Amino acid sequence: MSSILSEILEAAKTVRAIAQGMAVTLSYIPKQKLTRQYPDVPVELYPRFRGEHYLARDENGKERCVACFLCAAACPADAIYIEADEDLRPYEERPGVEPRYARVYNIDYGRCILCGYCVEACPKDAIKHGHNFEMAVTNFADLVKDKQYLLSNLEREKTRNLTIRSDA
């Protein structure tokens, strides 16, 4: 008799829990919906939004990265791959400000968690987060972005149809 009573009580608790859940769900039906009309209307992002990275240049157009490997060491996902090289040409002919530069600089966005540790670790302010959030691809190999892509990302950053919120 007690087992039947406990099963009835358990069923009553289950029905009550389902009814409460459905009440919450049904209460949202009459409320006004908030739909973003993207891409017709610009997306509002906060200034500290961490999107796709870009490699910065100095005021003379030279690359800031000196291949110190601090960003790769700080990356918890091991998403940054760098190969360093020495360029002993005169300053005017070098791609960067220092003789040492990153010959290869790749970020694998299949692994990157956009945590910002690489930006914090960089002593030269060479790598920064942009505001690009459209990183969907159909092939995993396309998630690996190379140095030329990251250097040109700053120019793409300037032309994006975004609204940066000022109330952050």
Binding site as annotated, residues: 65, 68, 71, 75, 112, 115, 118, 122
**CB burial string 56-71: b at 16+ within 10 A, e below:** bbeeeebbbbbbbebb
Q: Which two tokens stand for residue 66?
A: 């000196």
Q: Which residues are annotated as a binding site for [4Fe-4S] cluster?
A: 65, 68, 71, 75, 112, 115, 118, 122
- Structure letter (DSSP) for residue 57: B
The CA–CA distances, whole Å, from 86 to 53, 67, 140, 150 equal: 24, 10, 32, 21
The span from the CA of 84 to the CA of 102, in Å, is 5
Q: Put residue 14 in one of left, alpha, beta given phi > 0 → left and psi -120 to 50 → alpha.
A: alpha
**Residue 50 corresponds to which amino acid?**
R
The span from the CA of 60 to the CA of 62, in Å, is 6
The CA–CA distances, whole Å, from 3 to 7, 11, 165 equal: 6, 12, 60
